[in-house]
Amino acid sequence: MDSITVIPGDGIGPEVVECALEVLDALDAGLSIDVLDHVHADRYRREGQALSEADLSRISASSAVLLGAVGRPDVEETGYVRDVLLRLRISFDLYANYRPVRLMHDRLSPLRDPARRMLDCAIVRENTEGLYSGIGGNLRASSPQEVAIDADVNTWHGVSRILDFAFSTARREVCLVDKANAVRAGGRLWQECWRHAAERHPGTATRHLYIDAAAMKLVTEPDRFDVIVASNSYGDILSDLAAALAGGIGVAPSASLNPQTGFGLFEPVHGSAPDIAGKGVANPFACLLTTALLIRHLGHEAEAAAIDAAVAGSIAAGRVTPDLGGSLSTRQVTQAVLASL
Amino acid sequence: MDSITVIPGDGIGPEVVECALEVLDALDAGLSIDVLDHVHADRYRREGQALSEADLSRISASSAVLLGAVGRPDVEETGYVRDVLLRLRISFDLYANYRPVRLMHDRLSPLRDPARRMLDCAIVRENTEGLYSGIGGNLRASSPQEVAIDADVNTWHGVSRILDFAFSTARREVCLVDKANAVRAGGRLWQECWRHAAERHPGTATRHLYIDAAAMKLVTEPDRFDVIVASNSYGDILSDLAAALAGGIGVAPSASLNPQTGFGLFEPVHGSAPDIAGKGVANPFACLLTTALLIRHLGHEAEAAAIDAAVAGSIAAGRVTPDLGGSLSTRQVTQAVLASL
Ligand SMILES: CC(C)[C@H](C(=O)O)[C@@H](O)C(=O)O
Ligand SMILES: CC(C)[C@H](C(=O)O)[C@@H](O)C(=O)O
């Protein structure tokens, strides 16, 4: 029996995770579930670390992690989010961040042109290096002579494997997004690895855009994209932008995978949303779609498809929370989804 | 008499610059014009440098530069674009990149919601440091052990002055965009300088967004923004994204300024567009709006307003090139603008 670790986290995290757990329970998918509800901002404040070595080893005994959200305004300027999210990504070498983005209902699109509006792509984001390396520091901090350096580190190893993953998920095309015309060292590496990867996958069409042009084309020609592959930082930006074009982070799932070990961290793209936390109006769809990704990854295709269909049905019927233009509570949406399973 | 240097450059650069020069001529604004038409990709291929020391000193004798576009596919992977654009920015310490973005006609918006669609903001982009520092390199290049490092360098000096410039251009609010939750060294510097800058400008409202959320909010709530200030890389991305939301790069002007010396480099945001170069259909509006920015900067407010009005009038009347949904050529659009001046 597969076991999954659940980290509800902060803000709306516990609210949307509760919904996901009810749905999993109703599906009876035969998963054992280990809830780590002590991993949150309070513990970070108290102990300087939210995720202990003991937690990491409990997690490593499972097949995947479902995480609600981490983050809280009072710990915003500490290393808290890095301490949880980035540590999980690094500890388990979850180098492939996979964010499918699909317009689930015409009504959700912020775009005007019905012929262009249809977005059905995936952002594949390198998840373990680049600007997120954590390497760097501040010289003469807090003085007018301060110099801050963050190293954007890219390796042949890291770039090649994420490109291969991107090609492995493509249906027709992979579009590389970089800024090789201005950021030269990483640019040359990505470009060379890209040429090799394209040769290894001759059946897939390729395309290349600079990050500024990619941001623009996502708005003007969203329907043209299949798989977009980008560095950690550009992938972060493009996946939120794409999510906005497909109805917002309220319906955006995400997975951080290690394709070799099979281990994965699954989290909705939205954060802890402190402004609406505790009000009972958090949109559980992103967490449900994330749960579907997770169980599909573990081989439960039928159950995953059932969740996707139930969410799509609720959206089509207008049974949605305020962020999607509805008036239902998290609870009511959960009931609607459970009823249609 | 103010003198300006004009660099037509590559691709559609010369075509749109020709239009701008005709308009300037018609306005009789009393500017002397020095055209450097030998600065282009051919020269870079031949001599390894497109901009000589002699060019730089000719430029420095003028008050501002108008640049059409630089870039060509065959030199894409060389340092050509850096050699021209970035060298001009650095040589004249043009640290303030200013990109006003205004929806000039409702018809141009790609967004669905008329109540949200109205965009009238400016992106203020740090233009001399950050990821564009040029510092870095490749270890074991072209081998499976390659490591590429680009340094994202931010200084108290550089960050403070761009923040002050942003506040100086704001009408009601400045929104800082960074990624302090993940990119820590630069993040802490920007955050501290931001607090000080806000104290120096108590009359202006402030707001802070992470870059991923900013990309999303530009799509969902474009009307809420006034001035956005960001690093070199994030400013690059956001300004193209904002341009796409206001009708595309066909109407996006830009200025790189040194507010202390008053010197400036003015260029349309679009590039050299090799796919349409030489076909006579390039949209000259971005270059005209850039020219308006330039002459306004030199104190010719009436003439600048006349250009803005002529462009807005042409757009309202549908006298536009194919990229804006019309069928006119560059020549015909130029005639229309000249006629309405
Ligand atoms: C061509 C490129 C180096 C340049 C930049 O990123 O600065 C361009 O995109 C711009 O925004 O002016
Ligand atoms: C919270 C933050 C560090 C994180 C990231 O940038 O990776 C988030 O935006 C995401 O995309 O998962």
Helix (H), strand (E), coil (C) string for A127-195: CCCEHHHCCEEEECCCCCCCEEEEEEEEEHHHHHHHHHHHHHHCCCEEEEEECCCCCHHHHHHHHHHHH
B111: chain A residues, CB-CB within 8 Å:
110-112
Structure-block tokens of residue A191: 């470009």
State the nearest Cα–Cα gap between B340 and chain A, in angstroms. Answer: 30
Question: Whose C-alpha lies nearest to ligand 2, atom 7?
Answer: A236
* pLDDT the model gives residue A79: 83
Half-sphere exposure of B33 (CA within 13 A, CB side): 22
- Distance (Å) from CA A204 to ligand 1 centroid: 29
Beta strands in B192-295 (DSSP E): 205-210, 227-230, 255-257, 264-266
How confident is the model at residue B83, as a pLDDT? 87
**Is residue A263 within 8 Å of residue A94, measured between CB atoms?**
yes
Q: Which residues of B touch A113 (CB under 8 A)?
A: 110
Mutate which: B149, B159, B267, vs A, most A CBs within 10 A: B149
Structure tokens at B82: 């850096």
Tokens 């991993």 locate to A39
B255 DSSP β-pair partners? B98, B266
| Residue-level pLDDT at A134 | 94
Give the residue among B268, B283, B278, B232 at the shortest CA–CA distance from B123: B232
Distance from CA of B245 to the nearest CA of A (A): 7
Contact B155/A147 with Cβ under 8 angstroms? Answer: yes
The whole-angstrom separation of Cα A98 and Cα A294 is 11
Could you read off the pLDDT of A250-275 as tens digits, one per residue? Answer: 999 999 999 999 999 999 999 999 99
Nearest CA in chain A to B189: A148
Task: Give the best residue of B10, B76, B111, B181 to mutate against chain A (max A CB count within 10 A).
Answer: B181
According to the model, what pLDDT value does residue B21 have? Answer: 97
pLDDT (tens digit per residue) in B151-196: 999 999 999 999 999 999 999 999 999 999 899 999 999 999 999 9
Q: Which residues of chain A have pLDDT under 70?
A: none
d(CA A257, CA A266): 8
**Quick one: DSSP state of residue A325?**
T
pLDDT in the model for residue B33: 96
User: CB of B74 closer than 6 A to ligand 2?
Assistant: no
- What letter does residue A227 receive in the DSSP assignment? E
What is the model's pLDDT at position B78?
A: 81
Ligand of minimum distance to the alpha carbon of A85: 2
The span from the CA of A335 to the CA of A331, in Å, is 6
**What domains appear along chain A, each with residue ranges and CATH number?**
1-94+258-341 (3.40.718.10), 110-245 (3.40.718.10)
Give residue A1 CA to ligand 2 midpoint distance, Å.
31
Helix (H, G, I), strand (E, B) or coil at A286: helix
Distance CA A123, CA A238 (A): 7
Atom of ligand 2 nearest to the CA of A85: 3
Ranges of chain B whose pLDDT falls below 50: none
- pLDDT at position B1 is 84
How many residues can be counted in chain B? Answer: 341
Distance CA B177, CA B112 (A): 25
- The pLDDT value recorded for residue B76 is 82
Q: What angle do CA B165, B166, B171 make, to 5 degrees?
A: 120
Distance from CA of A186 to the nearest CA of B (A): 5
A177 touches A236 (CB < 8 A): no
Residue of B nearest to A152 (CA): B150
**The pLDDT value given to residue B307:** 98
Helix (H) or strand (E) holding B35: strand B32-35
CB atoms within 10 A of CB A33: 14
